[in-house]
Structure 1
Amino acid sequence: MAKLYPTDYQEKDPRKYLFHNPERMQPTILSKSLSNYLHYYLLDLMGEAASHGEQILVPFSCFTWRRIRTLKDMNTFSFKVGKESYFMVNPLDLKQIERVKLESY
């Protein structure tokens, strides 16, 4: 299964650049790059946690609103990173259309 984030995000850690070149980093660029890095870092952590339970991360956009309501009623673990929300679900529980949406995501 492909990751929901770039696999080389750790190589582009903005904190290293800031440490070596503090006078060259503009605040707006630092803010955006740091927020992207932290977004990918949290997705990586949650992906590792999901893999321990033999589950995968699926964004809310891959589900219909009825399916989201059903998953929430079943107390499926969900979390939010930035503006995006995700479910931790078993890959066997996904419907065919949800698999297609996840692959295109």
Structure 2
Amino acid sequence: MTWNPDSNNKVEQVNINETVASLNKSSKGVAGVGDKFRSSDGTTYGELAFPEVAPLVFPTLDELAAQTGPDAAKKKSNVAKGMTFVANYWDKRATAEYVSIVTLFLFTSN
């Protein structure tokens, strides 16, 4: 089984018996699977110095925070409402996707 980026399937069917059988038929058998992976034990020499990271700057938000008055309060309220809407949207979307996957699993496992 290989990954297909064009596939819309959320669940792929995998036959483990066929996979293991194909590995047993190969010349090295199941032991040959480890040959595909590289060892992760490497040698390091010294410490790598990471450069200083640039701070995140949002000038528009800084300007909004510095403003005072009724217009500024209205803008801040609108931004807060927008943030709440977006957070709820993504939460509902994730919930719907989870429910669809669980439902698919329950109906296909029988």
- Relative to the length of structure 2, the TM-score reads 0.30
Q: Name whichever structure is richer in strand by fraction.
A: 1
Structure 1 or 2, whichever has the larger Rg, is 2
